[in-house]
Structure 1
Amino acid sequence: MIKLQVFFLVIILSTEICHSIIPIERSAQSSILADKKLFFFGGMSSQLLSSFNQILYLDVSKPFNTTNPPFEILNVSIPFRSSYATALFSPLKNEVYLFGGFMRNELNDDNMFGNHISVLISFNLENNGWNFTFTKTNGIAPENRRLINGVINNKTGKFYIFGGVNDTFTGATTNSIAFNDMNIFDTISLTWSKGSAEGSPLPLIGYTATLLSNGIIVFIGGEERPYNYNVSLNQLALYDTKVDQWSSMRAQGITLENRSYHSAVLTSDERIIVFGGDNFLNQYQLAVLNTKVVPYEWSVPTPAPPLPLTTYSHSATLVGNYMFINFGKVDYVDSNHEQLPYFYILDIRNFTWVAQYEPEQLSQLPNSTNTVNTSTTNSPGLSVETPSDNDKKIGIIIGAVGLSVVTVAGLLIGYKYYKKQRVHRYAKQAKQCVSYN
């Protein structure tokens, strides 16, 4: 019986081996962190001249190296090919909201919904199902737009999206409509509303938006329309979500050159770390904004080498004390340069670039040790067992426990294997290994 169970376990373990995919280079994807997984929605390939409907993910609960990151592809696709959209995760509903961007048909480059139709869809992480939320919303939905960056308040369930641009095509002529409105969506009541227009900045694209714990959204950089010039990083637009009011601030510290299509993450001590970006002349490394002082203050850390290539139109996510920087573009004079699926990790504690990612929770787990009672005190009325008797009992207990562990492990892994095989029957990408832990 034991041999049968061990054989069963070995066979199952051998079938559990799978290999991660090597993703195609991309930029303008949307990303969110949820349930210890970093998801990437869509994106656009410079080499293929096409956008994606894929959903990639990384399991950040396990260690890996950036030279061979364990990307997986979900067997559920976006209903259209998506790029330059914004994704927001609501832990209150365990859903990801994808709004705006280019939304192309699966088989051609036609816009599925027209240029002005507002499209908001949601992805449920429990059942991996898509829902076209825009068909059920209340209020007046905003026109579709791209090159936006939204934020969400996890306590209220409201997300905020400012600006963006919409292109209309008439023959060979392209007309761009730029926006400077603040759009608010309540994920609980499914209601759209408008924020204050008084004091709002000019129409803005390619910026970053960061929500502080005090309810203020900090807008950094970007490109103002219709003048097509980049905004200085020292001139900040602020939106107070608690009182629905715009203001501006001139940040102190060093003077930074303008940039757009950069990224930003917020640390636990309310610092905003900005990476990359482009102003059609140069690309940039790191900058840090301290929001605990007023006015806010910029500084530039000097990370330890090796320094990565500076990218733009990438995504950045804070995972514990690590800033993940994924994909994006690099401009070179040499047109033959191959765009790569860039992946950098910054340890924000000491601003060091690292290649090996080690989840912090792994180092915090207690050591697996057994507690053994070595007391020789005898209780009244109980017989004293000799060491040989103890050895026999311990041997019996270990054997029983070992048998139980093998049995349970075999059953659990067997169920997992059955579940995975059942899912793979319906997966469009049969060669990809999909995790449903």
Structure 2
Amino acid sequence: MINSRVLKIIFLLINLSIEIVQSLIPVERQAASSVFIDKKIYFLGGTSSHSPKTSSELDQILYLDVSQSFYTTNPPFEEIPDVQIPFGSSFATAFLSPQKNIVYLFGGIMKNVNTDLDSFTSILHAFNLETNEWTIPTTNGIVPQRKREINGVIDDKTGKFYVFGGVADQEIGSKTIVVFNDLNILDTNSLTWSKGSTINAPLPRSDYTATLLPNGIIVFIGGLEGNDFHDVDINQLALYDTTIDKWSIMTARGVTLDNRNAHSAVLTPDERIIIFGGSKGINSTVTNQLAVLDTKQTPYEWSIPQVSNVYYAPPLIDLHSATLIGNYMFINFGAMYQAQDPTMQLPFFYILDINNFTWVTKFEPEQPSVVVTNTPTIAATANTSSNNNSSNLTAEQIGIIFGAVGLSIVIIVVAGLLGYKYYKNQKYKRAIPTAGGI
């Protein structure tokens, strides 16, 4: 009779073969918006040279469930069935309401996916996670101008969203290129827009990162400045204090880094800002893709960590997204700016363990704490039973295990071949939903 351990092995191997066929393979994309919601990372839109629709801007919403373990070679991407953004979206910024029930999408390029024509209807759109419906919120106050290449932050304590600068050009309905240096604030409680202080505000800027610290200070790092789009000095940090509506400039100390734009940033629990990727100017190489800013020091201090398993690290990329989940920093999608073939970005997925700055290929979610009771006798009995079971497998059981392994290998090979054939024929059709109504 097959015991439970043998059945478990068979079950796991069959599941592995099924997973090979079922995993969704998304097309390459860059300049997508992302937001972390209840153990899922959502990716909204982006622009892709492999979009099956007329417009290269995507209307798709992907998500990744990070409550389960998986490998970077086969991340379990999924999409919200029959729900798309009302337009193709890229170079926008997304944020979650403090109530955790609405995703707001602000700014960016908006294209009709079937005609590739400008589909601008509002600077702000809202996606209700409970009803899966898109709406245009009715807001008060000074509504911002159209802009893209922005990075906003939401303060969950106050419900206020902050977004600085951005670009308006022919791509989003402007006759000339205009780069902004205004700070727009949306109070999500009253849906009222207002403006932040302009005193000592930075020069017009785009393609930067914005990180909100627990003390209410937003740290703006890098980016492009002015209408000529020159690199911002990465050591000159623009700081905005949300509590007193005041701008200041801090010169960071530590190592000298390459200036960069279109990079990413995450904030760790000990208030370090980890930046990754980006390019100098237009597609020039950044020497150190990974760097850390310690905001507990005064002034803040840059360092370059010693990194392990660099052969699992991403290539030179920009216009990607970064999300911190526990001790793991996820790097997703983006533009591989020195490659001619964008499909070389597959699998679009990289994970950095920030505990020891090691690139890993498997994600393991944090397990809930287990309460250990003082029952040493029972525990010892259980361990003895387990050891006996493992050491007293019969020849028949061993034969069954090997048979199951062999059968599962055959299943995996067949499923893999079928999955590969299906992938070759359908990968782009399956990656993007048909035209419809993020």
What's the TM-score bracket when you normalise by the shorter of the two chains?
0.7 to 0.9
Per-residue CA shift, 1:287-341, capped at 9, x if unaligned?
Answer: 0000001100000002102233131000000011100000001122x63564424
Amino acid at match of 1:298: W
Give runs of ≥4 in structure 1 deviating > 6 Å. Answer: 367-373, 429-432
Q: For 1:158, which of 152, 157, 160 is the aligned residue?
A: 160
| Superposition deviation, residue 285 in structure 1 | 1.6
Paired residues of 2:109 and 2:172 also in contact (CA < 8 A): no
Provide the C-alpha distance between the structure 2 equivalents of 1:346 and 1:169, rounded to a whole number of angstroms: 35
Displacement after TM superposition at 1:104 (Å): 0.5
In the TM superposition, residue 123 of structure 1 has moved relative to its aligned partner by 1.1
Instruction: Report the Cα offset of residue 46 of structure 1.
Output: 3.2
> Partners of 1:243 and 1:175 in 2: how far apart?
34
Q: 2:294 aligns with which of 276, 290, 294?
A: 290
Aligned to 2:60: 54
Relative contact order (alpha carbons < 8 A, sep ≥ 6): 1 or 2 greater?
2
Which SS does the other structure have where 1:108 is aligned? coil
Cα distance in 2 for partners of 1:145, 1:296 equals 30
The structure 1 residue matched to 2:317, chosen from 303, 306, 311, is: 311
- Unmatched tracts of structure 1, length 5 or more: 1-9, 374-428
Q: 2:340 aligns with which of 335, 342, 361?
A: 335
* Counterpart contact for 2:316–2:337, Cα < 8 Å: no
In structure 2, what is the Cα distance between the partners aligned to 1:337 and 1:105?
Answer: 23
Cα distance in 2 between the residues matched to 1:312 and 1:82: 18
Native 8 Å contact 2:110 2:172 kept in 1: no
CA change 1:371–1:21 in 2 (3 A) is farther
- Corresponding residue of 2:367: 361
Q: 1:82 to 1:243 in 2, by over 3 A?
A: same
Q: 1:223 to 1:54 in 2, by over 3 A?
A: same
Could you say what secondary structure the match of 1:239 adopts? strand
CA offsets, 1:187-212, max 9 Å, x none?
Answer: 11010000001111111100000000
Aligned AA (1:266): L
Identify if the C-alpha distance between structure 1 residues 244 and 61 changes in structure 2 by more than 3 Å, giving closer, same or farther.
same
Q: What is the CA distance between 1:227 and its match in structure 2? A: 2.9
The percent identity for this pair of structures is: 56
Q: How does 1:27-426 map to 2 (within 5 A)?
A: 27-48=30-51, 50-75=56-81, 76-113=83-120, 118-133=122-137, 136-168=138-170, 175-279=176-280, 280-283=283-286, 284-305=288-309, 306=311, 307-332=313-338, 335-336=340-341, 338-341=343-346, 342-361=348-367, 364-365=369-370
Q: C-alpha displacement at 1:57, in angstroms? A: 0.3
Taking the aligned partners of 2:279 and 2:56, their CA distance within structure 1 comes to: 22
Please report the RMSD computed on the Cα atoms of aligned residues, expressed in angstroms: 2.9
Measured after TM superposition, the shift of residue 361 of structure 1 is 2.4
Amino acid at match of 1:31: S
Any idea what SS the aligned residue of 2:318 has?
Answer: coil
Which of structures 1 and 2 has the bigger CA Rg? 1
Deviation at 1:51, TM superposition (A): 1.4
- Asked if the contact 1:208/1:222 (under 8 Å) is kept, the reply is yes
**1:16-31 equivalences in 2 (<5 Å):** 19-31=22-34
1:140–1:192 contact (8 Å) kept in structure 2: yes
Q: Closer, same or farther in 2 for the Cα pair 1:140/1:271, shift >3 Å?
A: same
Which AA in structure 1 matches 2:96?
A: F
Of residues 305-314 and 204-213 in structure 1, the stretch that sits farther from structure 2 once superposed is: 305-314
Q: Is the 8 A contact 2:109 2:171 kept in 1?
A: no
Please report how far the alpha carbon of residue 93 of structure 1 lies from its aligned counterpart in structure 2 after TM superposition. Answer: 4.7
- Find the counterpart in structure 2 of residue 386 from structure 1: none
* Displacement after TM superposition at 1:365 (Å): 4.6
Provide the C-alpha distance between the structure 2 equivalents of 1:340 and 1:54, rounded to a whole number of angstroms: 19
Report what 2:423 is aligned to: none
The 3 A distance-change label for structure 1 pair 188 and 357 is: same
SS at the partner of 1:97?
strand
CA apart distance, 1:108: 1.4
| Equivalenced residues, count | 358
TM-score, scaled relative to structure 2: 0.76
Whether the 8 Å CA contact 2:28–2:342 is kept in 1: the answer is no
Query: 1:45 aligns to what SS in structure 2?
Result: coil
Q: TM-score, normalised by structure 1?
A: 0.76
Displacement of 1:127 after TM fit?
A: 2.0
Q: Offset of 1:118 from its aligned partner?
A: 4.4
Cα-to-partner distance string for 1:169-204 (whole Å, 9 max, x where unaligned): 799x96211110000001110100000011111111
Seen in structure 2, the aligned counterparts of structure 1 residues 36 and 166 have a Cα distance that, compared at 3 Å, is same
Q: Supply the distance in 1 between the matched residues of 2:147 and 2:49 (Cα, whole angstroms).
A: 21
Tell me, what secondary structure is at the counterpart of 1:51? coil
**Does the CA-based 8 Å contact 1:27-1:328 persist in structure 2?**
yes
The structure whose residues are more often helix, as a share, is: 2
**Unmatched segments (≥5 aa) in structure 2:** 1-10, 379-427, 434-438
